[in-house]
Structure 1
């Protein structure tokens, strides 16, 4: 990530762009195994349960671990 002009405040992302903590995941030029990590915050009801839903492109295998998140507190990694 970076600024768009001279003299602005610039932010540099460290590590892989796949680990940028956004709800979507983009991995350009996928040729081998790639892992991405997300930290999630429960903004719903206490003790909420969320299930992963995947739509992988043709020819790509994907998995989410854990496939089900059960929150007993606000954040999970």
Structure 2
């Protein structure tokens, strides 16, 4: 079964909530509790999710921003 972008983003939100609250347990969409051994393991799971989300959304975030300005007519 393929995981949708919405499911990945929802799980990422739960991981971020756990990270910022200091918790190491997260409940996934099927109700299963996942316990991480350390905050670095949780951060690695977040990095993996971010990479998968980037793959599903078509690649990389832009690394530069280009402005185009004019003084008008």
Quick check: TM above 0.5? Answer: no
When normalised by structure 2's length, the TM-score is 0.21
- Which of structures 1 and 2 has the bigger CA Rg? 2
Greater fraction helix: 2
